[in-house]
Structure 1
């Protein structure tokens, strides 16, 4: 950052290089650097330090200006960001499917307005498989920085006006932020990862260091002891960052306590000063400084290139393609640094440049938000049908909430009633119960109706808790089995419900099922078996027809791989089907089927329905039928998939056998 209030330090550019290379290597070759994503935390500390220095110096001199501060930020951030957003819009128009294109528009709008972290928080986690298909996912960190830049100058300026101790204010807010991080990392892991309140302490660590450095006067006599301490700080700081990059994993509760390593490491390296050995010899060498200088555009470019390549290929990228994407990102970053950024960061007509940059960024956001990048190939009839489907889903949720108003406060799955009351069919289970609602509701007789009770990863059995080992999902799964119990109380007490379908994704209960009536028994198969028999007994005694559903095949790759795209980087393969034996060897599915078959021997009136017979033949399983994709992700059927299997289910519902 070029600013008259800051003395240039090449070692900080070297630290930027370490941070950005960690992120790039993690994204391109995660097995080489499993914790490379902590480079973002290093960036936060650097940003906090530099911005803190600017603010504290200008406040001390009584020269601080909000307009000057934000003008510099706009001229620093907007040029490269706009170019990358424009690239994504153009490339997306060429290679994305309709749904992907609409989602990109949303992400462009969020990126242009610096709320991308909120957008991605609402969708999923940073480490989800679907993250690879979001070309602007990386803008979450830029959004956090810009949100920090909005509130932190106001806080410091207010403290300065009130003659408050700015260091004390900074420390208190940092402690509060760190406490939010630690207390929320298990119960709200996605929000803790993506949102400023739990991340601000990382930037404030840099601001605290800036205050201490300024109070020290900048120049300190280089005694032997001071030199030794600086060298030790540099070595320890580098060791902490490198350790985190190699030994922190995406499965760890991050940021949490783990983020202390890269944050402390960055603080120590900056505090060590440019004369420390590590800083002088490793961080200040020309290659490191070069990468540091282009680190911002490199960060912006690398992920869209990798993501679009992954989308185009519809498969895991080869090492050669990933390496080519990284090299291309470096080239584009240099061109951006050399030709795009300089005209805006210096020279005359600064106000005009700011106005122009804000205008084009607003335009980019409007293009995404207003849908000017309109979906391709969607006719009016199909759009109306899709709208009607969503309306049906929304109304059914409202109907159920009249009976179960707290359902979605306990889990992230909805319960749905086709009619407010007098539904004749109930489907109980996890999201794989929920996926069946639309097709059945459209094709059942008008006099009938379907009610769906779905809870996150819940097995459809009384007093059986499943999928509890994933701490990141505890909030939506801890009480899921209680919802299933309440559903059965309702079903058994309602004489109008004649048929009950039990639907479940076996991956959710595989080696992770607990019988809440006998939690000491650690055998998940025994727990599931006892739960099945308990549930079959309760339902058959209530004169309900019971159908246990064996689930649709789990896909070995993302269903978008089945779609025809304008071009690929390598020769295309058939991704609209896969070998049947690949599904037959799926251990969670085979184990679950064996348990169901064994449990129903004591309940011959309970029927088993296997969805794979509808979606597979003897040799292959299919993602699409009649030219329509049937899956929305690796395991869930989309609306067309729900409609496709509905006749098969309705035949079983209406059968007298």
Structure 2
């Protein structure tokens, strides 16, 4: 937030006109930044805390427009002075954070992550982060936690506003165009684009300047009205007493409280929802420094102090929290998050005292502006080079080979090329159109047919096991093929991303999951295999599983086995090992485990206990009181238990089959070591 660095605003510049310093605006900044920090650290504590950014937008529009209007009115506006002041305010803290993030990433991030960070540093240095992030994913996506510079999108929007708005106002004054009409026209168009776009393309609407400028223009409108209120409201100019001011301030506070409380990630935001924090901030500013809330609360020493360091605090807090998420491999402890927030506050104070404040007092303005601009250019180049060199792999030589071994983890193309289509997963029994995927085309259309060996018995006198489900059913094949007695034949219809379902009652040419499930049920009814194993990812539907069991029993299947989820990792297991367990990898660990999956497994096992089906508790095989198994044998690379977040490697599949599944299939359960 550029405006965060403008405190306090003192009328010391001879060319630009600056409004009188208002401590209550610093207090409002404090509330805004604290809400954002609280949301990022503890999302459940203040679910709408992210709207603090919208408060910043209004403050920014108000202060910057006040400067421009005052300077134009005095005929003293200078583009050079305006932008050199922006450089002096914004660049010092931003450079420090960008350099610190790059340095920290050198030691922590893997090549692909460091490559992405390089792109974001380049985008942040050029103030186009919002466009870079718009092309990747949404602000609330799961991947957001692993982007240390995600928060710079708002800085990009503000800087883009600062490039356009002074020029537009200057031109309006020169051409004698009414500035109020300009604000209303541009702001109204921006708000209309926002309301329309949030429905059709919410990600683009969140990140695009044309759909967010209206929030800054609310501040501009307030600045214009404040400066010319006697002319605009001539008949009511005497109505400006404490009752009016306190009503404005209280109404603004209510708007902010409602926005912080009711706005959620699931709302269509910004849209109409962004009006609450924007109008709330405008009302509080309009109330003036002498309204009771503004004077007694917002102007308090603590809030003013936080407001003064709010810009570096905003810059520091998210990279630190993001690196914690990356290193922890999931949800960090409350203590860790609290300590991280206090570290961010300390760094913000140090940045303000030893970087921002001394540079503001530095007298040689041209030298300062040139040096800061040159450093920002160097920072941009460093980020771009990091991106183009694919994350400077030479940093982590000991892990490069290990990382390359696991390049076939989803969603990489090699997952399908080396794993999904191999004998380990029996990819020929998959209705997903892999060839279309590999050619860069995603389609729901199933392949016309699968290999007949997937569903045709070749050994008439053998017993038959039929595997049905998604990729978590596919992973069982390699182990069962090796460990099951030769008197058993394994058939399989299992399609990636398609949990077993009893609802597919007819073939489909447009939905590969419907086709896969219809075909699997058809073949099971025709073949009447001795045993059917239904394997799928952790989001099981208990009601559907019970229905499947009844259908299979009616079809004459003797044994029906539902496999529970495998241990799930919040970050792919190879990455968890490389980041946090590299020096001494434990055989069992809780580091990075998705505990919610373990809880759901226990609940599912309990709910299916009396269903008549056999529940195969895979987590019980791989986990104990110390955590879950990371590798088998002596070599971590070849013995790792999961390629990614939860798919078993062939060696883990064989372990599971030998220790557990073969016994369940044959009716002779084996003891688990």
Alignment correspondent of 1:516: none
**Equivalent residue runs for 1:547-562 within 5 Å:** 550-555=564-569
**Whole-angstrom distance in 1 between the partners of 2:121 and 2:626:** 43
**Equivalent residue runs for 1:641-652 within 5 Å:** 641-644=648-651
**Whole-angstrom distance in 1 between the partners of 2:496 and 2:325:** 32
Distance 1:107 1:462, change over 3 A: farther
Alignment correspondent of 1:392: 414
SS at match of 2:99: helix
SS at match of 1:376: helix
Contact 1:562/1:576 (<8 A) preserved: no
**Equivalent residue runs for 1:527-546 within 5 Å:** 529-530=546-547
* Alignment partner of 2:387 out of 363, 369, 373: 369
Alignment correspondent of 2:487: none
**Whole-angstrom distance in 1 between the partners of 2:521 and 2:600:** 36
Alignment correspondent of 1:360: 378
Distance 1:377 1:223, change over 3 A: same
**Equivalent residue runs for 1:455-474 within 5 Å:** 459-461=499-501, 463=503
Deviation at 1:265, TM superposition (A): 0.8
Alignment correspondent of 1:6: 18
1:260 is aligned to 2:275: yes
Distance 1:31 1:62, change over 3 A: same
For residues 402-424 of structure 1, the C-alpha deviation after alignment (integer angstroms, 9 at most, x for no partner) is 499997478xxxx998x998696
Contact 2:116/2:387 (<8 A) preserved: no
**Equivalent residue runs for 1:87-98 within 5 Å:** 87-97=100-110
**Whole-angstrom distance in 2 between the partners of 1:80 and 1:37:** 21
1:484 is aligned to 2:513: yes
Q: What 5-or-longer segments of structure 1 have no aligned partner?
A: 441-449, 466-478, 511-524, 602-607
Deviation at 1:531, TM superposition (A): 7.0
Deviation at 1:296, TM superposition (A): 0.2
Alignment correspondent of 1:475: none
Contact 2:329/2:576 (<8 A) preserved: yes
1:622 is aligned to 2:629: yes
Deviation at 1:609, TM superposition (A): 7.9
Contact 2:58/2:216 (<8 A) preserved: yes
Q: For this pair of structures, how many residues does the alignment match? A: 593
Contact 1:298/1:330 (<8 A) preserved: yes
Contact 1:580/1:621 (<8 A) preserved: no
**Whole-angstrom distance in 2 between the partners of 1:31 and 1:526:** 30
* Alignment partner of 2:33 out of 17, 20, 23: 20
**Whole-angstrom distance in 2 between the partners of 1:171 and 1:394:** 54
Alignment correspondent of 1:327: 342
**Whole-angstrom distance in 1 between the partners of 2:324 and 2:627:** 28
Using the size of structure 1 for normalisation, the TM-score is 0.70
1:109 is aligned to 2:103: no
Alignment correspondent of 1:204: 217
Using the size of structure 2 for normalisation, the TM-score is 0.69
Alignment correspondent of 1:446: none
- Report which stretch shifted further, 7-16 or 197-206: 197-206
SS at match of 2:566: coil
- Report which stretch shifted further, 302-311 or 40-49: 302-311
Deviation at 1:42, TM superposition (A): 0.7
Contact 1:116/1:143 (<8 A) preserved: yes
CA RMSD of aligned residues (A): 5.5
Contact 1:502/1:547 (<8 A) preserved: yes
Alignment correspondent of 1:303: 318
Alignment correspondent of 1:294: 309
For residues 76-104 of structure 1, the C-alpha deviation after alignment (integer angstroms, 9 at most, x for no partner) is 22211111122222223334455544443
Deviation at 1:300, TM superposition (A): 1.1
Contact 1:400/1:416 (<8 A) preserved: no
Deviation at 1:144, TM superposition (A): 2.9
Q: What 5-or-longer segments of structure 2 have no aligned partner?
A: 1-5, 422-431, 456-466, 481-491, 667-673
**Equivalent residue runs for 1:429-448 within 5 Å:** none
SS at match of 2:127: coil
Alignment correspondent of 1:513: none
Alignment correspondent of 1:521: none
* Alignment partner of 1:236 out of 251, 254, 258: 251
Deviation at 1:290, TM superposition (A): 2.2
Distance 1:340 1:612, change over 3 A: same
Contact 2:101/2:148 (<8 A) preserved: yes
* Alignment partner of 1:637 out of 643, 646, 654: 646
Contact 2:219/2:282 (<8 A) preserved: yes
Contact 1:580/1:618 (<8 A) preserved: no
Distance 1:550 1:278, change over 3 A: closer
**Equivalent residue runs for 1:401-420 within 5 Å:** 402=436, 408=442
Contact 2:589/2:629 (<8 A) preserved: no
Contact 2:117/2:387 (<8 A) preserved: no
- Report which stretch shifted further, 64-73 or 21-30: 64-73
Contact 1:109/1:364 (<8 A) preserved: yes
1:42 is aligned to 2:55: yes
Alignment correspondent of 1:471: none
**Whole-angstrom distance in 2 between the partners of 1:338 and 1:315:** 34
Contact 1:107/1:368 (<8 A) preserved: no
Alignment correspondent of 2:425: none
SS at match of 2:567: coil
For residues 590-614 of structure 1, the C-alpha deviation after alignment (integer angstroms, 9 at most, x for no partner) is 378679x76x89xxxxxx9875577
Distance 1:356 1:119, change over 3 A: closer
* Alignment partner of 2:366 out of 326, 330, 349: 349
Distance 1:344 1:556, change over 3 A: closer
**Whole-angstrom distance in 2 between the partners of 1:365 and 1:438:** 44
SS at match of 1:88: helix
Contact 2:17/2:70 (<8 A) preserved: yes
**Whole-angstrom distance in 2 between the partners of 1:583 and 1:24:** 30
Deviation at 1:566, TM superposition (A): 8.8
**Whole-angstrom distance in 2 between the partners of 1:556 and 1:381:** 23
**Whole-angstrom distance in 1 between the partners of 2:597 and 2:181:** 61
Deviation at 1:162, TM superposition (A): 6.7
Contact 1:393/1:438 (<8 A) preserved: no
For residues 210-262 of structure 1, the C-alpha deviation after alignment (integer angstroms, 9 at most, x for no partner) is 23333326999984654421221012112322343345444555444433221
**Whole-angstrom distance in 2 between the partners of 1:437 and 1:158:** 71
